[in-house]
Chains A and B, each alone.
Chain A
């Protein structure tokens, strides 16, 4: 009977300590967010996720995509881009995406050539972008009747600078717009417009399959000079910028941070050109093999559970031997997050995306909070009767 009471007390105390840990973590998070001197920590955590190690250290499946071809326009003029579009059209691709914006007019001849090429390219999707809530497009001169556009913004919510998620279809009271990759997937026939609108109107993690290495990239000169471009037949061709020359690691124009960055924490340089991110999203839509993101409530519930189990274990060791607890708590703070991260990677391998940052933070903090919880209990017991698993 005494043993059963002790067990109940153990489970109850662990639960109270977990709640105590959650309160402390909320207070700490509040401090980090609101005190400007702690801004670097806030920013570091905004851009950080433990699961980035999945990509950064090559634990993922690299899958080249034969049906998506990227054409690097480098710094070619509008006439060259027009010629490239005409050449690409000769091979009847499923869709052509132009990840370029022509904000103003230049010379008449160049502009006219480009406008003609744009209007004559079948299955064309042009880039647009949201700025201050309004959709911006290329100069009206380059707009053609019934043109297909898609927004090229990543992270529309502005929560992180690392491109982990994508939104296939944006809608609010005022406007509706498909994403660039989403519209390309519709035009290419990979998904229907209704599927895009219904299934991709919330953010979904991008399943990267290798970034630049996953897509055949041709330079605009190669497109213009060569005739053996049968690879473009029935493909989706994306015109965009991938450095001058192609893949130049020191060129950062339109380069973004993604989980593929080997330096996944701390300072680093952007790793992936925007057009490859669109291509990766398109590949996800084509194959239908993207991640299923666990809802926030579930990831928090899992974090609470891990914290509770860690505290349960920590209290058990403390009860047996306080010195052993002091020695082992640091080891547990290392081991349990390693196991949590391992489980998260296994889930990612099974196409399930779980944010484990909260779980890791709560486990580390929870084991640290056992000592503070004991002080709290001692304080309470001086004033009120309070049964304790650790002190009785």
Chain B
């Protein structure tokens, strides 16, 4: 009788695990599993159990699949349990065939889908750096560096130097961004150069550096006023303060 009871309990618990079991289907960026002081990277095909604790770092994403083929995904940084993931079911079916089809026909009629221009060559030594762009003026106390991720590369090496100096600040990181908060390496009024590479020990003479300078809040306000006056666009007045800041940063390399 006892054996039968134990057998039944085992059977029920097994079926419960089978129903809820999730597997990692796809990951992007840094996705960790385990306890706080014993974390490892979670990889494709790994089983996510009810006790599994998953941590998504910024810019990371995770897609998990259950045995029925339902997908569960998250892109928000944070800590997740299996139960939390199960609440994030993704929709895979196209919303409406009729609407999608006639939208497609309409775009074809308007010739909205033009083929992209073709380049007859290959890229070698493509610059990964995205922000700050060359000759950017930054006023913020935290410097954010962003770059383009390369396929199949996890680790990136960031090199920063003061313009004209040979002293480098070197950092290794995962992902596609790095933020430096009130770092003593930087001083207002000085100009710096940065580069990112996938090599730990590159030939620094051959690295392509991008320059940016740190300015004070007062300098920023003055430059902003000058730039807005120079542009003489009535459209600028319609923008909110935040929108104007983004526009000046993205198009005129003046960033707050």
Contacts and interface: CB of A to CB of B under 8 A. Distances in A.
Q: Do A and B bind each other?
A: yes
Contacts of A228: 43, 45-47
Interface in B125-168: 151-152
B65 A69 contact: no
A346 B97 contact: yes
B45 A69 contact: yes
Interface in A303-342: 338, 341-342
Interface in A39-93: 53, 57-67, 69
Contact of B45 (A53, A60, A229, A345): A229
Interface residues of A, number: 30
A67 B67 contact: yes
Interface in B35-80: 43-47, 65-69, 71
Contacts of A349: 97
A274 B100 CA distance: 29
Interface string B12-48: 0000000000010100000000000000000111110
Given A64-B71, A245-B152, A230 B47 contact: yes
B180 interface: no
Interface residues of B, number: 25
Contacts, number: 69
B69 A222 contact: no
A345 B69 contact: no
Given A338-B105, A349-B97, A216 B47 contact: no
Main secondary structure of the interface of A (DSSP, over half): mixed
B94 A58 contact: yes
Nearest to A214: B69
B23 A60 contact: no
Contacts of B105: 338
A66 B97 contact: no
Contacts of B25: 64, 216
Interface of A: 53, 57-67, 69, 216-218, 222, 226, 228-232, 245, 338, 341-342, 345-346, 349
Interface of B: 23, 25, 43-47, 65-69, 71, 92-94, 97-98, 100-102, 104-105, 151-152
27 contacts: A58-B100, A59-B100, A61-B92, A61-B93, A61-B94, A62-B92, A63-B92, A64-B69, A64-B92, A69-B45, A216-B23, A217-B44, A222-B43, A226-B43, A226-B45, A228-B46, A228-B47, A230-B23, A230-B47, A231-B23, A231-B45, A232-B45, A338-B105, A341-B101, A342-B98, A345-B97, A345-B101
